[in-house]
Structure 1
Amino acid sequence: MAKNFPIFSDGLFTSTGQSYNISAIIDPKFHIDIDAYDRQGPLYLSTIFAMIYGLNFACLTATVVHVFLFHGRDIWQLSKSAFKYKKMDYYNEQLQLPWWGVLLACGIAVFFTLPIGVITATTNKSPGLNVITEYIIGYLYPGFPVANICFKVYGYISMKQAITFLEDFKLGHYMKIPPRAMFMAQVVGTIISALEALGLVPSDHMFYDASVIWGLVGPRRIFGDLGHYSATNWFFLGGAVAPILVWLAHKAFPDKDWIRLISIPVLLSASLNMLPATAVNYTSWVVIGFASGFIAYRYHRDWWSRHNYVLSGALEAGLAFMAVFLYLCLGMWHVGLEWWGSESEGCPLASCPTAPGVFAKGCPTL
C-alpha cells in the first residue's frame, strides 16, 4: 500500500494515493462523520510519517526508563533533601475540552518535566510529548480535533516551555546575567509572543494533520484495532527495553566508561524532526556537530568541559542569524538554489502523480 504514497511526506492519503479530503468527513459541529469516513475509506500515512510516530512512542518510554536506571538514585536523594529542608468548569463548545482534560494535561506536563529535563541537561536534546498527549486524549475523548489541540498545548507545550525557561536560566548563569533580569525577559517575551501568535494565527501543516489524525479520526482508527498501523505500538516496548540493554552492558563492563554515555532517548529523538526537516538538514547538523565536538574534545578537552554549552548556544545563534540573513538577501527576492538537496526525496520523480490513471510528462504510469 505504501508504494502509492510519497516516501517523504507529511500529507494524508487515501488507499489510492490521492490526498485525503478532510472536509468531507467533518459535520457542521466540527465532529467526525462516521458514514462519510467509511465511504471515503481509511486514512493512510507516508512511510516516514508512520515511522516518526513509532519512534515517538519508543522515545517516550526510553526516556522514562533511561532516567530511572541511570539517574534514579540521584533524583531520589535530591527529592529527599528537598522534602527535608522545605517543609473548572467545562470549556465552551469552541474549545471542546472538559475540565478533567485540562487537569490531566497539566499532570502529564508536571510528571515528564523532570525526566525530560534530565535528558536535556545531559545531552542538549529534548524528547517531546506531542504524540503521546495526542494519543491519550484521542482515546479518552475521540472525535474532537479542537480538544485534541488544546490538550496537546497544555500537556506538551507547557512542558516544553518549562524546559526552555530552564535552558535560558542555565545559559544566563554561564553568561553571568542576573536571575531577576532573566525572569523579566522571559515573562515579557512570553507575553509579546502570545499576543503576536494570537494576532497572526500562523498556519502549521503538521499541527493540522495531527489534529485530524489524533482528534478527528482518532488513534483507534489508525493505530488501534480499527487501523492499519497497530504494529507501531510495539515501539513502546522497544523503547523501554533498549535502555535496559545499555544499563546491563554498563553493569557487565564497568571499566568501559563509554557505554554509560549511550543515550537511547537521544538516538531516537534525533530523527523525530525529519518532518518538516529533510535529510540534508541532518547531514549538515551531523558534520558541524561532530567536527566541532571532536576537535574541541580531542585537542582542547579542558576548554570543552567548561564551554561546550556556550558553544552550543553560539551555533544556535549563528543558525538564527543566517536564517534571517538568507531571508533578507534571497527569500524576499524569491531567489532559490536548485540542487539535489532541495529535491523533496532526492529524486527527480518525487513529484510524480501517485494515483492510478494520472499521466504526467517524464513520470511512470501506475
Structure 2
Amino acid sequence: MTQAKFFLIALICSFSWYVFPGYLFTTLTNISWICWIFSKSVTAQQIGSGMRGLGLGSFTLDWTAVASFLFSPLISPFFAIVNVFLGYVLIIYVAIPIAYWGLDLYGASKFPIFSSHLFTAQGQVYNITAIVNKKFELDVPRYEEQGRIHLSMFFALSYGFGFATIASTLTHVAVFYGREIYQRYRASNKGNEDIHTKLMRRYKDIPSWWFYVLLAMTLAVSLALCIFLNDQVQMPWWGLVFAAAMAFIFTLPISIITATTNQAKYVMGIIYPGRPIANVCFKTYGYMSMAQAVSFLSDFKLGHYMKIPPRSMFIVQFLGTVFAGTINLAVAWWLLTSVENICQDALLPANSPWTCPGDRVFFDASVIWGLVGPRRIFGSQGNYAAMNWFFFGGAIGPIIVWLLHKAFPKQTWIPLINLPVLLGATAMMPPATPLNYNSWILVGTIFNFFVFRYRKQWWQRYNYILSAALDAGVAFMAVLLYFSVGLEEKGITWWGTDGEHCQLASCPTAKGIVKDGCPLK
C-alpha cells in the first residue's frame, strides 16, 4: 500500500470515529471504570478519576486526549517514553499518595487531591478579586484578612518537581554535553562542514542583519510599551532587558533538553512582587521567547536536512508568526466577547468545552508568581518554603548519574537515565491529567516498542503517516461538529455524555470541611 493511500484510509477512519467521543458518546474520552464500581466512595474516586484524581486504570478512546497536551506518542523515542513513565509513576503513584494520605502534608486532606485552583485554609476556593486593588495590584491588608493561599497536594508537588527540572537541566547539559558543545563550537570556528552543510551552500545564506534588525525592532516596540503604557503593562524597562538576558542564557541548555520551566516567573516574582501583569509579560519575554527560539531552530533543522532554502524558511517563519499572532488575538477577542462565562468552570455546564484548563493554570500561576509573589508562597511568608530544596536535589541528580556512568561504563542503560525528562515528566500537569498520560504512555509503548520490534518495516513506512492522519481526521471532524451543532448549541444528553462519572473525586477527605455535592465527615 502506498503511503498516500494509507494516509487517506487512516484519515477517514479517524474522521468517522471522532463523532462518537466528540459528540455522541463523550464518556469515551475519559473512561474511569473504578468510579463506576465505587460510585459512593470519595477515596476510590480520587484514585480512579482520570480527570480529577490519580487516574489508576483510566484510559481513553479519543485521540485528542492522547495527543492534545503531549505531542504525538507515535513520534517519541521509546527511551523518552520510559523516562516519562518512571517520572510519572514516581510523582503520581508514589509521592502524592504518601504526601496526601500518609503524611497529610500542609493539611492536604482539606483540599482536592488533584486541582489547579487556589484555596483558603478552610478548603474554600480563594477569592482572588477580593485581594486586588483598582490598579490590579495586591491589596496587602485584604490579603492578610483572607489568609495565606493554599495549594492542592498535586499542585504544590508539581512546582517542586518543576524546580528540580530547572536545576537538573543545567547540570545534565553541563556534565553530559559540555565537552561536546565546546568541541562543536571549536569545530564551527575552524569551518568543518558535514555533507548537509556542503549541499546547502548552493543556496544564499540569511544575512545576519535580518536577525539584528528584527531584534532591534521588537525590542524598540517592547520598550515603548513598557515606558508609555506602563500602567497597563506594569513591567519596567529594566524587566525587559533582564528577560532578554535570561532568554539568551537559557536558550542553549533548554534547546538540548526541552523542558517547561518556571524560572522566569520565580525571579520576577521575587524582584517585582504584587504585579501579575508584569509577571506575565516577563514570562512572555523571558521564557516564551526562548521556547519560540527552540521551535524556530527545530524548523530550520528540518529545513537543513530537507534542503529548503534558508531565506525561504526565514520568510515563511516571519509571515507565519505575524498571521498566527493576529488570528489568535482576533479569535481570543471574539470568544471572550461572545461566549458567556467563558473559562469560569463553576458557572458553566458540566460538559462545556469552554472551561479553559490551560488558561486556568496560567491565571493561577499569575496570581502565585505575580500578584501574591513567591515570597508569600514559597518563601518565609508562605507555607511551601520546603519546596525550594527541590532545586538542590535536581542539581546534584545528574552528577550522580554521570558518576555512576563513569564508574560502570559497560552498563549502557545508565546514560539513558535522563533526569530532566524524568523529573519533568508531569510538567504538562495541570492542565494535562493522568488520563492523558496513561493513554500517551500506553499508545507510545505499543507503537514505539512492540510495533517497532516485531513490525519494523511497517513502523518505518507508516508510523509517522498514521500520526499525521489521526491528527488531520480529528481536526476535520472537530470543525464540522462545531459549525453543524456547536454554534446552535444542539447537544445530546444521556449517561454517555455525562462526563466520567467521578463527581466525588474533587472532594476533600478531612473532617468538618463542607463542599457542595460532597459527603460531610
Deviation of 1:238 (Å): 1.1
Q: For residue 263 of structure 2, what is the aligned residue in structure 1?
A: 132
Deviation of 1:269 (Å): 1.8
Instruction: Indicate yes or no: 2:366 matched with 1:234.
Output: no
Letter in 2 for 1:46: S
Q: Which runs of 5+ in 1 are unaligned?
A: 120-125
Name the larger-Rg structure: 2
- After superposition, residues 201-220 of structure 1 pair within 5 angstroms as 201=333, 204-220=359-375
Alpha-carbon distance in 1 for matches of 2:240, 2:231: 15
Check whether the contact 2:110–2:508 (CA below 8 A) recurs between aligned residues: no
Alpha-carbon distance in 1 for matches of 2:406, 2:182: 20
Of residues 108, 112, 115 in structure 1, which corresponds to 2:250? 112
Check whether the contact 1:16–1:354 (CA below 8 A) recurs between aligned residues: no
Letter in 1 for 2:149: L
SS in 2 for 1:143: coil
- After superposition, residues 27-38 of structure 1 pair within 5 angstroms as 27-38=133-144
Letter in 2 for 1:288: V
CA offset digits 1:107-134 (Å, max 9, x no partner)? 1111111111112xxxxxx2023x1111
Deviation of 1:100 (Å): 1.4
TM-score (norm. length: structure 2):
0.61
Check whether the contact 2:239–2:282 (CA below 8 A) recurs between aligned residues: yes
Q: Which runs of 5+ in 2 are unaligned?
A: 1-106, 193-222, 337-342, 344-358
Q: For residue 283 of structure 2, what is the aligned residue in structure 1?
A: 152
Check whether the contact 1:353–1:360 (CA below 8 A) recurs between aligned residues: no
Instruction: Indicate yes or no: 2:481 matched with 1:350.
Output: no
Letter in 2 for 1:182: M
Alpha-carbon distance in 2 for matches of 1:97, 1:271: 30
Instruction: Indicate yes or no: 2:484 matched with 1:328.
Output: no
Distance of aligned partners of 1:260 and 1:311 in 2 relative to their CA distance in 1, 3 Å threshold: farther
Alpha-carbon distance in 2 for matches of 1:257, 1:78: 24
Distance of aligned partners of 1:317 and 1:50 in 2 relative to their CA distance in 1, 3 Å threshold: farther
Q: For residue 122 of structure 1, what is the aligned residue in structure 2?
A: none
Alpha-carbon distance in 2 for matches of 1:158, 1:103: 13
Deviation of 1:214 (Å): 0.5
Letter in 1 for 2:176: F
Instruction: Indicate yes or no: 2:181 matched with 1:75.
Output: yes
Distance of aligned partners of 1:178 and 1:37 in 2 relative to their CA distance in 1, 3 Å threshold: same
Check whether the contact 1:113–1:162 (CA below 8 A) recurs between aligned residues: yes
Of residues 50, 54, 57 in structure 1, which corresponds to 2:156? 50
Distance of aligned partners of 1:313 and 1:175 in 2 relative to their CA distance in 1, 3 Å threshold: farther
Of residues 389, 396, 410 in structure 2, which corresponds to 1:255? 410
Alpha-carbon distance in 2 for matches of 1:102, 1:10: 29
Alpha-carbon distance in 2 for matches of 1:295, 1:311: 12
The RMSD of aligned alpha carbons is 3.1
Check whether the contact 1:17–1:354 (CA below 8 A) recurs between aligned residues: no
Of residues 222, 226, 235 in structure 2, which corresponds to 1:97? 235
Letter in 2 for 1:190: T
Letter in 2 for 1:349: L
Deviation of 1:261 (Å): 1.4
Q: Which moved more, 1:270-279 or 1:195-204?
A: 195-204
Q: For residue 398 of structure 2, what is the aligned residue in structure 1?
A: 243
CA offset digits 1:262-305 (Å, max 9, x no partner)? 1111112221112111111111110111121113553477998x
Alpha-carbon distance in 1 for matches of 2:399, 2:465: 32
CA offset digits 1:238-280 (Å, max 9, x no partner)? 1111111211111111111121111111112221112111111
Identity over aligned pairs, percent:
48
Q: Number of aligned pairs?
A: 352
Letter in 2 for 1:132: Q
Letter in 1 for 2:265: E
Alpha-carbon distance in 2 for matches of 1:359, 1:22: 19
Letter in 1 for 2:312: A
Check whether the contact 2:122–2:513 (CA below 8 A) recurs between aligned residues: no
Q: For residue 76 of structure 2, what is the aligned residue in structure 1?
A: none
SS in 1 for 2:413: helix
Q: For residue 121 of structure 2, what is the aligned residue in structure 1?
A: 15
TM-score (norm. length: structure 1):
0.86
Alpha-carbon distance in 1 for matches of 2:425, 2:236: 34
